[in-house]
Chain A
Amino acid sequence: MKALLFIILFSIGLSAFSQEGKKVQFVGGARSLISQSDFTSDVSDTVTAPKTTGGYALIDLGFKINPNENTEVLGMIRIKNQFGGFYGAGVTFDVRQIHVKGVAGKVLRYQIGNIDYKLTPYTFYNHNPDLLVQSLGINKIKEEVLNYESFYKNNNWRQQGAAADFAIQFPKLIQELKFNGFITRLNPSASNVLERLYGGGNVIMKQSKYLTIGVNHVRVFDLLQTADNDNAYRNVVNSISYDLNKDGEKIKLSLDGESGMSKSFSTQNAEGGLSDFFIHVKGQVSFKKCGLKLKMAYMENGADFRSFGAQSKRMDFNQVNSFYDRYTNSQILRPLSYYDLYNDPSLYSSSISTKIMSFNPSINNVLPYGIATFNRKGFYAGFNYSDPKKIIAADVTFYRLGEIRGQGTTQLRSFSYLTSTVSFNLSNWMHWKKKQVFQLGLAYQETNRSSQFTFEQIILKSLTASLGLELEICPDLYLLGSAFLFSSKGNESMPVRTPEGNIINFNEYLVDGREINLSSGIKFNFSKEVYVAAVYESNKNNFSAENPYKYNQILLYYIMKF
């Protein structure tokens, strides 16, 4: 009754607010998922429940209020009900996002509260180093869900803090100077843990349409006197980014990149800190008529280069699964699989970590922290092609990199990495009105370290291949299909690090496994932002030779955005 009264009063309040000429909008989304899983392992397992049914319904309800034309207030709550929860049981209420943003004095744009922010790939950037191939079909639905859950969009990090920017335009020499700044909180203070903040900004000078130069600065810093601790941590990154281009009638030439340096230290041990630099230069040629773009780049990221805003991973590979976390009669932990990366959004985080996060060398050993990965040097080259009729599109890049400093030895690892995506738009080819898209993705990595000693030798090969299709069989009704193969074989020597990042030991990593996922389903679009999809999938994993497993799953999604 109280809730009903509250809703009525709130609605009256809102309508009164609207009547004064001020805008109130409802924004958000809703999602429902029902799943039925059937898990089996090849070894005796009378403990794990083979079949589970789960799911949830949730609604993200946001109120976007514009008290005046220069101000926006957004508050969004999430109501989530686990499948089977009734009358309050299994129901949670959370604040999903809240911010105030606007323009002050028609000059300064600001945002306070939740901010989605990035600067440059080496300073503050949310790389995606674990999902190596582009998704289509069913995996695209899953990827959209996990991106929505963790606010992953355009490589931004979702943080709590404040951001502001403004620009100054000039009549001569320089077209525009743009100033951006932000400050966020990484952790609150505790008894002997200092308050840790992350802030920075850049100045971007647009000299002309041919030249843009940016000066970027970010720093992680502890605030002294916020706890019983005098040893404050600092990580400072400064860089220069640039973009030169010459846009001709037939050809466009461009040269862009970023170079800079980092310094990490504790105030009581400044001499024991780390400092290093990085260089990244990329040249591109675009042939406008034929839709071909060629690129070639050189990168060199020092072994002690640390930039936690750009090297934090979306996923911590030390965490435990929430989906069939244990299996077999011994109830061993089920390691994170490639499928879990798509299936479980709760594995992802939006935190900036000031520790070197763990990674899975089978998935990405070449650039585990994205393009900002430290201790890498070499070239990459590739092409991007899109034919004028938009029938075929291809994006291929090949990296040839190596270490700068050896780990446990003076012998250096060398890396090869080929990544490609090819899309066929059959409807454009056949001149059909209905959408028919077919996509192939491939990522192949190879790591080598040769040595006269067997214990120093490393050979690790990994392949991730995906296939996706979306076939519109009648208006708004799609047949979906996805498949991926993930295999890895070889050995690695994985560093064991202290919390400060120093390597104290090495663990031998041996792998010889394969994971195959096949899925199909149908999707019906009620509108561009609302759809329902029914999916059946089968997954087989033998990365553990002693305890291989497989499972089938039926999923029903209902997704809405408004």
Chain B
Amino acid sequence: MKYYITLSALILVLFSCHKKDSKIDGPSLEDLNGQFSVLSPLAASIDSVDFASGETVYFTALFSKTSEWNLKITGLVSGAVKTMTGTSNELNASSSLWSGETTNLPIFKNENCKVELTFPNETDTLITYVKVLQAKVNSGFLISDFENGFNSGWTSFIQSGANMNFQVLSDASSPQGNKYYNMAGTVNWDWLIGYVYFKSTAYGGAPAFPLSANPNSVYFNVMIYGESGTTNSIVLFQFEEDENSDGIFTAASEDMYAKEIKVDWAGWKLVSIKYSDLEYLVNGVPATPNGNGTHDSNKIKTINMLHLANPNSGFAKSKLDYIIFTENGPLVP
């Protein structure tokens, strides 16, 4: 019996008891329910920031209680907007770090930015400013941002319809830089309004675009503008693969993956597609590709961009800018 008593006592004392915990789980209720006041004003960690060289900026502020907050950074020239939200009693490097990226297009330029901190449940608005010395540089293979006009190595075709306007334009509405490619017109006999073929040979005579062979890590990104009031534009991208590296794309025996984008929004929008997600399309319907059936992202010879619209739908318009391949993730502009 002594043996059992000793053993049970041992088991009981094996673990020491919890003492009253001085920590609390979650935010303090006193903080959540107390009076709101700003204990430390909104401030930027640096006055000016060079995103191109890898610098970042963060914002600080301290409040008397845990609150929901919205931080909005607006480019005073570009109109670009970066937003951040959170619920805390302070802003710090972990909650408000900015690396120059944008939430709503356009992309930030080298410009002064206004930073506003608001609270959904309070009337206070805190403001500070930060200057972007050099805007963020995106890594990847740039097909075109149209800043240097129309590349002579590309080929294009424009139907002879009404009000045709296929050209590089320059105005303040550009989401990146100052220029973009405008596509507009009425073609009432054909779906095709116009096209541009971006050939790899236009980039130093390369037989294929210099991309990774892993189609799961290659992303195709493009900024597309939808004209308010029209939703009939279709932008079709086709990716021709020169699988046998003979310098020619053979449609009957090589793969051509495609993405059809119905431009049914107003304003600029970033569209990003993982290359391995592309399909072979026949009249817009997925079908079995004609080649080896694998996504050979390192063998893309030509990218065909076709602007289409239903011939009965009338005038169609959209714009393109900043066509870029990125690796390991979609473009974060």
Question: Is B33 a contact of A259 with CB atoms below 8 Å?
Answer: no
Establish whether residues B27 and A503, one from each chain, have CB atoms under 8 Å apart when the complex forms: yes
Q: Is the CB of A453 within 8 A of B29?
A: yes
Chain A residue contacts of B28, Cβ below 8 A: 408-409
Q: Are A303 and B4 in contact (CB under 8 A)?
A: no
B12: which A residues are within 8 A, CB to CB? 279, 281
Q: Are B27 and A408 in contact (CB under 8 A)?
A: yes
- Chain A residues lying within 8 Å of B15, measured Cβ to Cβ, are 259, 261, 277, 279
For residue B163, CB closer than 8 A to chain A, the reply is: no
Bitwise, A360-387 to B at CB < 8 A (1) or not (0) is 0000000000000001010000000000
Let me know if A377 and B22 touch, CB within 8 A: no
Is the beta-carbon distance between B27 and A405 smaller than 8 angstroms? Answer: no
A137 / chain B contacts, CB cutoff of 8 Å: none
> What 1/0 flags go to B20-33 for Cβ under 8 Å of A?
11111111111011
- A404 and B20 form a contact (CB under 8 A): yes
State the Cβ distance, B250 to closest chain A Cβ, in Å. Answer: 33
A407 within 8 A of B: yes
**A412 nearest in chain B by CB position:** B20
When distances are taken between beta carbons in the complex, the residues of chain A under 8 Å from B27 are 408, 503-506
Whether, in the assembled complex, A56 has its beta carbon less than 8 Å from a beta carbon of chain B, the answer is no
B290-320 vs A: 1/0 string, CB under 8 Å?
Answer: 0000000000000000000000000000000
B31 to chain A minimum Cβ distance, whole angstroms, is 9
Which of B4, B26, B30 touches A504 (beta carbons < 8 Å)?
Answer: B26
Partner among A211, A405, A504 whose Cβ is within 8 Å of the Cβ of B24: A405
Task: Kindly state the separation between the CA atoms of A281 and B8 in the bound complex, as whole angstroms.
Answer: 10
Per-position binary interface string of chain A over residues 490-504, scored 1 when its CB falls under 8 Å from any chain B CB and 0 otherwise = 000101000000111
A407 touches B26 (CB 8 A): yes
Provide the bound-state CA to CA distance between A409 and B30, in Å: 8
Given known A-B contacts A242-B11, A409-B28, A505-B87, A453 and B20 have beta carbons under 8 A apart: no
- With known contacts A259-B15, A279-B15, A408–B7 Cβ distance under 8 A: no
Provide the bound-state CA to CA distance between A306 and B268, in Å.
47
B4, B18, B29: the one contacting A300 at CB < 8 Å is B18
Is B14 an interface residue when CB atoms closer than 8 A count as contact?
yes
Cβ–Cβ < 8 Å partners of A129 in chain B: none
Please tell me which one of the listed residues B11, B24, B25 contacts residue A257 in the complex, with CB atoms under 8 A apart.
Answer: B11
A240-B11, A281-B12 known; A408+B17 contact, CB < 8 A: no
> Which residue of chain B has its CB nearest to the CB of A211?
B4
Could you tell me if A495 and B25 are in contact, using CB atoms closer than 8 angstroms?
A: yes
Residue pair A408, B24 in contact (C-beta under 8 Å)? yes
Which of A410, A502, A503 is B22 in contact with, Cβ under 8 Å?
Answer: A410
Shortest CB distance A242–B (Å): 6
Structural contact, B24 and A453, CB atoms closer than 8 A: no
For residue B18, which residues in chain A have a CB less than 8 angstroms away from its CB?
Answer: 277, 300, 302-303, 377, 404
Closest beta carbon of chain A to B36's beta carbon, Å: 14
Question: Cβ of A455: which chain B residues have Cβ within 8 Å of it?
Answer: 29-30, 32-33
A303–B29 contact, CB under 8 A? no
Q: Which residue of B lies closest to A406 (CB)?
A: B24
Interface residues of A in 481-533 (CB under 8 A from B): 493, 495, 502-506
Q: Which residues on the B side are within 8 Å of A244 (C-beta)?
A: 4, 7-8
Q: Which of chain A's residues 233-267 have a Cβ closer than 8 Å to chain B? A: 240, 242, 244, 246, 255, 257, 259, 261
Query: Which B residues between 8 and 53 are near A, CB-CB below 8 angstroms?
Result: 8, 11-12, 14-15, 17-18, 20-30, 32-33
Instruction: List residues of chain A with CB within 8 A of the CB of B20.
Output: 404, 412
Residue numbers in B under 8 Å from A375 (CB-CB): 25
Q: Which residue of B lies closest to A260 (CB)?
A: B15
Q: Which residues of B contact A503 (CB under 8 A)?
A: 25-27
Contact: B29 with A404, CB < 8 Å?
A: no
Q: Tell me which residues across on chain A come within 8 A of B14, comparing CB atoms.
A: 240, 259
Contact of A395 with B by CB under 8 A: no
Cβ–Cβ contact B21 & A405, under 8 A: yes
- Tell me, rounded to whole Å, the shortest Cβ–Cβ distance linking B122 to chain A: 16
A408 B11 Cβ-Cβ under 8 A = no
A149 to B11, CA, bound (A): 40
Q: A456: CB under 8 A from chain B?
A: yes
Q: Indicate if A562 sits at the interface (CB-CB under 8 A).
A: no
Instruction: Report the Cα distance A240→B28, complex, angstroms.
Output: 36
B73 to chain A, nearest CB (A): 24
Q: CB distance A456 to B29 under 8 Å?
A: yes
Q: Which residue of A lies closest to B11 (CB)?
A: A242
A210 at the interface (CB under 8 A from B): yes
For B26, the chain A residues whose CB sits under 8 A away are 407-408, 495, 502-506
**Closest residue of chain A to B19, judged by CB?**
A404
Shortest Cβ distance from residue B239 to the other chain A in the assembled complex, whole angstroms: 21
Q: Is the CB of B25 within 8 A of A406?
A: yes
**Closest B residue, CB atoms, query A495:** B26
Residues of A within 8 A of B66 (CB): 505
Most chain A beta-carbon contacts within 10 A, residue among B17, B18, B22, B28: B18
Given contacts A240-B11, A257-B11, A453-B33, contact A407 B87 (CB under 8 A): no
- Chain B residues lying within 8 Å of A211, measured Cβ to Cβ, are 4, 7
A346 to B19, CA, bound (A): 42
If the complex has contacts A259-B11, A409-B30, A455-B33, are A303 and B22 also in contact, measured as CB distance less than 8 A?
no
What is the bound-complex CA distance between A404 and B21, given in angstroms?
6
What's the least CB distance linking B63 to chain A, in Å? 15
* Most chain A CB atoms below 10 A, which of B7, B11, B22, B87: B11
B32 touches A506 (CB 8 A): yes
Q: How far does the alpha carbon of A302 sit from the alpha carbon of B20 in the complex, in Å?
A: 11
A453, B31: Cα distance in complex, Å: 12
C-alpha spacing A21/B289, complex, angstroms: 55
Q: Among the interface residues B17, B21, B28, which one has the most CB atoms of the partner chain A within 10 A? A: B21
Given contacts A240-B11, A281-B12, A453-B33, contact A408 B4 (CB under 8 A): no
Query: Which residues of the other chain, A, contact B30 by a CB distance below 8 angstroms?
Result: 409, 453, 455-456
Are A408 and B8 in contact, with the CB atoms below 8 A?
no
Taking a contact as CB atoms closer than 8 A, the residue among A259, A300, A408, A502 that contacts B32 in the complex is A408
A506 to B26, CA, bound (A): 8
Residues of B within 8 A of A405 (CB): 21, 23-25
Whether the pair A408, B29 counts as a contact (CB closer than 8 A) is yes
Give Cα A495–Cα B24 distance, bound, in whole angstroms. Answer: 12
Q: Which of B8, B25, B27 neighbours the largest number of chain A CB atoms within 10 Å of its CB?
A: B25
Residue of A nearest to B274 (CB): A191
Quick check: A409 and B4 within 8 Å, CB to CB? no
Give per-residue flags for A268-282: 1 if the beta carbon is below 8 A from chain B beta carbons, else 0: 000000000101010
Q: Which residues of A contact B11 (CB under 8 A)?
A: 240, 242, 257, 259, 281
| A408-B8 Cα distance, complex, nearest whole Å | 37
Using Cβ atoms and an 8 Å threshold, which residues of chain B touch A210? 4
- Chain A residues near B17 (CB-CB < 8 A): 279, 300
Contacts A/B (CB < 8 Å), 5 sampled: A408-B32, A409-B24, A409-B30, A495-B25, A506-B26
Q: Could you tell me which A residues sit within 8 Å of B by CB distance?
A: 210-211, 240, 242, 244, 246, 255, 257, 259, 261, 277, 279, 281, 300, 302-303, 375, 377, 404-410, 412, 453, 455-456, 493, 495, 502-506
Add 12 more A-B contacts to A409-B28, A503-B27 (CB < 8 A): A244-B7, A277-B15, A300-B18, A303-B18, A405-B23, A408-B25, A409-B30, A453-B30, A455-B32, A504-B26, A504-B27, A506-B29
- Chain B positions near chain A (C-beta within 8 angstroms): 1, 4, 7-8, 11-12, 14-15, 17-18, 20-30, 32-33, 66, 87
Closest 6 CB pairs of A and B: A503-B26, A405-B21, A408-B29, A455-B33, A407-B25, A406-B24
